[in-house]
A and B are shown apart, each in its own frame.
Chain A
């Protein structure tokens, strides 16, 4: 009798262990169709690899992503692994959402072996590293070959300098009888990638730098010519305006804009929409080339402890593996964060220009990406909507942004 009981009990124990042994971790990212689909598939792969781990995938609209993280992690209900923009790391760390990556698992050698050199710098804050990217991104010029042909331009020859960019954009712009733009030569959308182009590319090309080297001082106000070049596209050359067709992506995808400055992550959706497009390195000026590099990375929140932490570590390592990077490039169009993987695509007509851009790219250190983006958008809006001079608008923006930086550096005690 006792024996039976023992057998039954041990059976129950085995059963319950096999049921409860499954560790469940929650993964959050913002909604971006191709990324969401890719992650869904990768989670399946991952769960095959580690049958005792279950990953729940939750997405939110980009606009509300930060609020959701902010409201849930402190309450202990949020994600265990969160996908975040590298520029948010300082804010996430100082708000207490993230825990540093354990150094025994993620050593210097691990980073050296698996990532471009700017990656460990980008995920570091106050001497500790917080996240791993799957892929990196840079900017390039997209042009619509059909619209080039239609305007009598050589569809194989994109603009190489800013001067050519303006000239071609003018030729590519179409107006209706009343002077409304019906086809933009160049989409101008500071809220998209435009603010990066102004900050890290135009500012440097016009002989300045956006920030002091240690990112404590705003310096772009010294080169208002950079902002003026951008707003002249809207007010003087009239080749486009912010919000044309709602945004630059819509405009370019619906063939209402002939050129756009955008990231590699757009490639997949443009291919899907059947656009006949080409990709070129960003136009140079004064012989200066510049680009903006950035990435989304997976960090582990303070919610993950014990078994969940182990599972989270396995998950983010898996997501940054060579194989995933290749899938990511194919499905999402983002560039591999591992130079060894990137090597294979160097001469690709579409990915090549992005990879070349990475060589001379800068990754802005954002202390509050949302606020800093807003400042740049406001500068452009002030000039084209309110007629304020670029000098004044840039100065006002610099002041506002300096206050953001000061507040941040003060809060971390520097």
Chain B
């Protein structure tokens, strides 16, 4: 009995600092964010007035917010399928080979671990228009017309997506490959004996068995693209999300509202919107994964 009490006490003692941390650094700021989003506070004025939902009304009336919400959606829609399809194909190819598998995997994951700020600037340099941009010079060499990339309102966002895909692919390949290698060989052998061809093996056995991994990675990537910031900040002129706001995502909007205009009320209202979107996706993911288990 005494030992039990001592152990309980020890447990609480061990948890004291970490729980205080979570309460003050994670939980309290979250509550505080909700609260600020209902006030008209900017950091300069000493007063906070409760304004109800007017910040939420205000951001949805703000054309720039709507544009950045739409841009965020575009990042997700262009980015997630590209990353998933590309990395799944790569993982399948890698699974075919035996030698140097580790080496390829290592090279593919390099962009993922390099500082995003550095890679953003390297790509920005590569995306320059002729005569300085190396990609355009290559297109030129092939006899293809030059592209505007980051300087065009239509091409800038896909260009940033392309860079992000380049970064994320390696991470997904590793997880896909681990998933592929955990598929029991007997399943595939049995199907082969039954006369299934390669295509059938892939779509009837491999991919359905990989489904939980695909769902997991899709959600991870969705959240990553929803929170996109660093690339855009470093790849658009003066971190503006331009040209003409065409690349500005939600988080950059929040950053500018909060730390350029010091409009903390509307900025936190926008963060709450982001939170709700991410929450919805996570809940859906849990539902989908739980259903899959019943198969």
> What is the minimal beta-carbon distance from A53 to any residue of chain B, in angstroms?
29
Do B259 and A67 touch (CB < 8 A)?
A: yes
Do B153 and A71 touch (CB < 8 A)?
A: no
Question: Which of B140, B242, B243: most chain A Cβ within 10 A?
Answer: B243
Select the stretch in A194-202, A238-246, A317-325, A329-337 that faces chain B: A238-246
Q: How many A-B residue pairs have CB under 8 A?
A: 54
Neighbouring A residues of B140 by C-beta, 8 Å:
176-178, 180
Do A385 and B146 touch (CB < 8 A)?
A: no
> What is the minimal beta-carbon distance from B135 to any residue of chain A, in angstroms?
13
Task: Give chain B interface residues in 210-266, CB to chain A under 8 Å.
Answer: 237-239, 242-244, 259-260, 262
Do A382 and B244 touch (CB < 8 A)?
A: yes
Do B244 and A180 touch (CB < 8 A)?
A: no
Neighbouring B residues of A66 by C-beta, 8 Å:
260
Task: Give chain B interface residues in 34-50, CB to chain A under 8 Å.
Answer: 43-44
Task: Give chain B interface residues in 112-168, CB to chain A under 8 Å.
Answer: 128-132, 136, 140, 145-146, 151-153
Whether, in the assembled complex, A386 has its beta carbon less than 8 Å from a beta carbon of chain B, the answer is: yes
Q: CB < 8 Å: which of B44, B146, B151, B244 contacts A96?
A: B44
Do B152 and A176 touch (CB < 8 A)?
A: no
Do B153 and A256 touch (CB < 8 A)?
A: no
Q: Assuming A178-B145, A180-B140, is B237 touching A191 (CB within 8 A)?
A: yes
Give CA–CA (A378, B242) in the complex, Å: 10
Task: Give chain A interface residues in 377-401, CB to chain B under 8 Å.
Answer: 378, 381-382, 385-386
Give CA–CA (A103, B260) in the complex, Å: 33
Whether, in the assembled complex, A74 has its beta carbon less than 8 Å from a beta carbon of chain B, the answer is: yes
> What is the minimal beta-carbon distance from A173 to any residue of chain B, in angstroms?
13
Task: Give chain A interface residues in 143-192, CB to chain B under 8 Å.
Answer: 176-178, 180-182, 191
Do A245 and B244 touch (CB < 8 A)?
A: no
Do B259 and A180 touch (CB < 8 A)?
A: no
Task: Give chain A interface residues in 55-89, CB to chain B under 8 Å.
Answer: 63, 66-67, 70-71, 74
Neighbouring B residues of A386 by C-beta, 8 Å:
153, 244
Residue of A nearest to B262 (CB): A70
Neighbouring A residues of B237 by C-beta, 8 Å:
191, 243
Residue of A nearest to B151 (CB): A243
Do A71 and B129 touch (CB < 8 A)?
A: no
Whether, in the assembled complex, A95 has its beta carbon less than 8 Å from a beta carbon of chain B, the answer is: yes
Q: CB < 8 Å: which of A95, A243, A256, A378 contacts B244?
A: A378
> What is the minimal beta-carbon distance from B160 to any residue of chain A, in angstroms?
16
Do A256 and B131 touch (CB < 8 A)?
A: yes
Interface size class of B (residues with CB under 8 A): 20 to 34
Do B152 and A245 touch (CB < 8 A)?
A: no
Give CA–CA (A129, B237) in the complex, Å: 34
Do B244 and A381 touch (CB < 8 A)?
A: yes
Neighbouring A residues of B43 by C-beta, 8 Å:
71, 74
Do B244 and A182 touch (CB < 8 A)?
A: no
Residue of B nearest to A177 (CB): B140
> What is the minimal beta-carbon distance from A60 to any residue of chain B, in angstroms?
13
Give CA–CA (A386, B151) in the complex, Å: 12
Do A70 and B153 touch (CB < 8 A)?
A: no
Give CA–CA (A177, B146) in the complex, Å: 11
Q: Assuming A63-B238, A67-B260, is B44 touching A180 (CB within 8 A)?
A: no
Residue of B nearest to A191 (CB): B237
Instruction: Tell me what chain B mostly uses at the interface: helix, strand, loop, or mixed.
Output: loop
Question: Which of A191, A245, A385: most chain B Cβ within 10 A?
Answer: A385
Do B129 and A243 touch (CB < 8 A)?
A: yes
Q: CB < 8 Å: which of A96, A181, A246, A385 contacts B153?
A: A385
Residue of B nearest to A256 (CB): B131
Give CA–CA (A5, B91) in the complex, Å: 83
Do B130 and A385 touch (CB < 8 A)?
A: no
Q: Assuming A70-B262, A191-B237, is B244 touching A246 (CB within 8 A)?
A: no
Do A385 and B243 touch (CB < 8 A)?
A: yes
Do B238 and A178 touch (CB < 8 A)?
A: no
Give CA–CA (A242, B131) in the complex, Å: 15
Neighbouring A residues of B244 by C-beta, 8 Å:
378, 381-382, 385-386
Do B131 and A71 touch (CB < 8 A)?
A: no
Query: What 1/0 mask marks residues of chain A from 344 to 386 whose CB sits below 8 Å from any chain B CB?
Result: 0000000000000000000000000000000000100110011
Do A381 and B243 touch (CB < 8 A)?
A: yes
Q: Assuming A180-B146, A243-B151, A382-B244, is B132 touching A71 (CB within 8 A)?
A: no
Neighbouring A residues of B136 by C-beta, 8 Å:
180
Give CA–CA (A168, B44) in the complex, Å: 51
Residue of B nearest to A178 (CB): B145
Give CA–CA (A178, B140) in the complex, Å: 8
Give CA–CA (A180, B146) in the complex, Å: 7
Give CA–CA (A173, B129) in the complex, Å: 16
Residue of A nearest to B130 (CB): A180
Do A178 and B152 touch (CB < 8 A)?
A: no
Give CA–CA (A178, B136) in the complex, Å: 11
Do A95 and B44 touch (CB < 8 A)?
A: yes
Do A74 and B44 touch (CB < 8 A)?
A: yes
Do A176 and B131 touch (CB < 8 A)?
A: yes
Do B243 and A71 touch (CB < 8 A)?
A: no
Neighbouring B residues of A243 by C-beta, 8 Å:
129, 151, 237
Do A182 and B131 touch (CB < 8 A)?
A: yes
Q: CB < 8 Å: which of A63, A178, A245, A256 contacts B146?
A: A178
Which B residues form the contact surface with A (CB < 8 A)?
43-44, 128-132, 136, 140, 145-146, 151-153, 237-239, 242-244, 259-260, 262
What 13 additional pairs, Cβ within 8 angstroms, besides A70-B44, A95-B44, A182-B131? A67-B260, A71-B262, A74-B43, A178-B146, A180-B136, A191-B238, A242-B151, A243-B129, A243-B151, A243-B237, A244-B129, A378-B244, A382-B244
Nearest 6 CB-CB pairings of A with B: A180-B130, A182-B131, A243-B151, A74-B44, A180-B146, A63-B238
A sample of 23 cross-chain residue pairs with beta-carbon separation below 8 angstroms, ordered by A number, consists of A63-B239, A66-B260, A67-B260, A71-B259, A74-B43, A74-B44, A178-B140, A180-B129, A180-B140, A181-B130, A182-B130, A182-B131, A191-B237, A243-B151, A244-B129, A245-B128, A245-B132, A246-B128, A246-B132, A381-B153, A381-B244, A385-B153, A386-B153
